[in-house]
Amino acid sequence: MAAAITIVPASGSVQAVVSACRVTVADAEDTDSTAYDTDVLPREPEIRYRLVATATGEDDLVSHEFTVSAEGDHVWDNVIFPADGSWTISLINQDTDAADATLAVTVVA
């Protein structure tokens, strides 16, 4: 299953500077099975992520660096968008700098 991002309140109900949002990651990979090494503990290195919210003309919102649970879950709480408009939240793999999942969010005034 592929990683997914959800937000509460839902897109379109998020109010700029008012809504404290909960961004949830589900089903992200917790370890790098391609780097399996029997001589190292743990055998597979953890994958580290960050969440980045971007909008044209606005400063990026960036979460702390984190690892997901064994189930692939993580929560970024109390996210407040500074401006209305179209935002994109991306789950960024710290090793590859690639987005493993994205979510479009509409923030209203």
- Of the candidates 44, 4, 47, 42, the residue with the CA atom closest to the CA atom of residue 29: 47
The string of pLDDT tens digits covering residues 41-53 is 778 889 999 999 9
With H, G, I as helix, E, B as strand and everything else as coil, classify residue 106.
strand
- Of the candidates 3, 97, 1, the residue with the CA atom closest to the CA atom of residue 48: 97
DSSP-assigned letters across all residues of 72-104: S-EEEEEE--SS-EEEEEEEEETTT--EEEEEE
Specify the CATH superfamily of domain 4-108: C2 domain (2.60.40.150)
Give residue 1's pLDDT band: very low, low, confident or very high (50, 70, 90).
Answer: low
Tell if the pTM clears 0.95, that is, is over it: no
Q: What's residue 37's pLDDT?
A: 78
Beta-carbon count within 10 A of 12 CB? 9
Structure tokens, 55: 């909008």
